[in-house]
Structure 1
Amino acid sequence: MTLLGIGMVLQAVMPGRRRLFTMSPDVKGVRSTLDQASARQLMHQTVLSVPGVSGVRVRVGRRRARVRALVEFGDPDAAHQAVVTAANRALATYGLRRLPRLRVHLGTAAGLQPTQRRMRRRARKQGARAERKSS
């Protein structure tokens, strides 16, 4: 009985297969996994193929996939939509049992106009500052 308890404690403390994603089985009785590094590399290549994107950083975890992309040219809003579509397509092709939630952040190169979201955020901040000054 004591050995069983020690064995359970050791299994709880030792790292398991945290860096592996379980995939949905196509054939009954066959188990397959995909490691985080491969998932990250595949998503990186997929997002980098989007026109206008010059740099990508990808982090893939069990619950969340984060993509940071740099747009060199073109419409940032259209590029954002294309990056989201490409990343979702990449996640769908993995065949994972549980898809991680996707977060996409888009940066622009120097000299490009800020995205509409940033412009709205800036306007809200300026409005809040104006309210503070008037009170």
Structure 2
Amino acid sequence: MSEPVEGSVRDGEPVEQSVRDGEPAAPAEREAERELDQSASGAAYRPVPGTAGDDGADGRFWSRRRVPAALLALLVAAGAGLLLFDIASVRAGRPGMRWRRSLAGELASRPLDDTWVLAGAAAAVLAGVWLVVLAVTPGLRNLLPMRRRAGDADVRAALDRDAAELVLRDRAVEVSGVQSVRVRVRRSRVAVRAVSHFRELDEVRSDLDTALGDGIRELGLVRRPALSVQVRRPAGKG
């Protein structure tokens, strides 16, 4: 004997679960209900607009800088090992390496304003500045941070630039009159270059502004980039 029991509410309507002799529904039935629930509530999978208190505080994702760190570690380890070997060789009564003796002699004899000394100092400064920039900047410029869903404060998401460009390009080609389009997405600006083979250019540009503006909003990015649209005729046509 089974009787309907109201369970969870989906899409504003109660869902009935069958109970047989006091036992819950079979796993296969629960799985079927779950699949029906996902197919029926497609609105839950659409991009969620930012909350009223969302001020874009979520910053960019930070890179671990594995490649620069590994290269620097290998360089320092190789230099330290070579220097340690040379010092141990000198302590053992053998002559030092020719390159170290030559370098010491050059540093002792060349003035500070020598071209090679200045070039080496400039290279060392540039390398230091590069390492400092890598240390204080987030990196991962290809990832665009997305707004967090309400109630999911511990979950962060990002959208790849290529995926954002593909979405916006698909929207642009749906505009009447657009023959081809090129989209470039940056953190602060979306640059669109379109070719229109019919309709007035101002009308096509206006429709692109509307369609792509809606598309940028639906991407759900923390920092909404500005939109720049240029429309021209195909080559050889006025």
TM-score w.r.t. the length of structure 2 is 0.41
User: Which of 181, 184, 189 matches 1:64?
Assistant: 189
- Is 1:31 equivalent to 2:148 in the alignment? no
Deviation at 1:63, TM superposition (A): 1.0
Where does structure 1 differ by over 3 angstroms across 4 or more consecutive aligned residues?
8-11
Identity of aligned residues (%): 34
Larger RCO of the pair (alpha carbons < 8 Å, separation 6+): 1
Aligned-pair Cα RMSD in Å:
2.0
Q: Which runs of 5+ in 1 are unaligned?
A: 1-7, 113-135
**How far apart are the structure 2 equivalents of 1:98 and 1:13?**
20
User: Which of 141, 163, 176 matches 1:18?
Assistant: 141
Change in CA separation of 1:72 and 1:94 when aligned onto 2, cut-off 3 Å:
same
In structure 1, the partner of 2:210 is 85
User: Which of 73, 77, 80 matches 2:198?
Assistant: 73
Q: Which runs of 5+ in 2 are unaligned?
A: 1-130
Deviations 1:7-42 (A, max 9, x none): x84852887211101000012211000011101111
Change in CA separation of 1:25 and 1:73 when aligned onto 2, cut-off 3 Å:
same
* Paired residue total: 105
Change in CA separation of 1:111 and 1:95 when aligned onto 2, cut-off 3 Å:
same
TM-score w.r.t. the length of structure 1 is 0.71
In structure 1, the partner of 2:219 is 94
